[in-house]
Amino acid sequence: MEGVSPWRRVLQLAVLLTVGIVTAGLVWVLGPGAAWVLEHFDGVDDLTGKDLAAALDAVRGRALAIATGLIALVAVYYTARNAATARQGHLTDRYTKAIEQLGSDKLDIRLGGIYALERIARDSARDHSTIMEVLASFIREHSRDDVAPDHEGPVTSPRQPLRTDLQAALTVIGRRVVRQDLPNRRIDLTGAKLTGALLFGADLTGVQSPGPRPAVDLYEVVGVPAEWMSTPEEAGGETAGEPAGE
């Protein structure tokens, strides 16, 4: 998750500096500065006695009113900042828990982590690309694991479907909010084995393909973009089996 941005640090320093200046000015105006303000801003320099005291009190009253307004603005700022900090802290906790779930040896817990990450990506645009990178890394690292398929019942295809958790991660990538992707940064699936994946309706804009066959087995992957379906000869690779679509 991202930390405090530089512009926010500058804003915080500016607010603190403003508060310091206003506080010093208020102390000065409430003291000897009231007479100076009365003379140079109000143009009054011929009062004496009770009239002078009343005029000075009026100057101090205006200063207090201005200070009260500024204090209210500062309070609103810090309230909003604290709310944003609390929200970011909550997102960080959710993210940490989801990452822990992703590393579980239980399928249902891994699935919970994947869908929790999807929800965070939708709730926080600033974390969207990081989460897509995490899911892509999960697919790359585990798509070639020597693990028995977790599907039950007969399989109509001669090849097993993609492992359930990998399919879930791929589905999340395929239905992400594409406009939240960082410009010029592709979701890297290089080296992933996606045999049996279902990509119906997926938006793979900006997704880096696993690479030319045979580096990645793309046989029977459904809904793959045209550039992923080039033959081994077109991709410059070696034949790893029957052509796609047979």
**HEC letters along the chain:** CCCCCHHHHHHHHHHHHHHHHHHHHHHHHHHHHHHHHHHHCCCCCCCCHHHHHHHHHHHHHHHHHHHHHHHHHHHHHHHHHHHHHHHHHHHHHHHHHHHHHHCCCCHHHHHHHHHHHHHHHHHCHHHHHHHHHHHHHHHHHHCCCCCCCCCCCCCCCCCCCCCHHHHHHHHHHHCCCHHHCCCCCCEECCCCCCCCCECCCCCCCCEECCCCCCCCCCCCCECCCHHHHCCHHHHCCCCCCCCCCC
Residues 12 and 86 in one domain: yes
Q: What percent of the chain has pLDDT over 70?
A: 77
Tally of domains within the chain: 2
Both 77 and 120 in one domain: the answer is no
User: Would you place residue 225 in the very low, low, confident or very high pLDDT band (cuts 50, 70, 90)?
Assistant: low
End-of-domain residue from the set 49, 74, 102? 102
Q: Are 89 and 136 members of one domain?
A: no
Averaged pLDDT, 39-47: 78
Please tell me whether residues 213 and 95 are part of one structural domain. Answer: no
Domain boundary among 102, 123, 155: 102
* Domain C-terminal end among 102, 125, 153: 102
Q: Which residues form the domain of 238? A: 105-246
The least confident of 78-92, 143-157, 197-211 is 143-157
In this structure, the answer to whether residues 123 and 146 fall within a common structural domain is yes
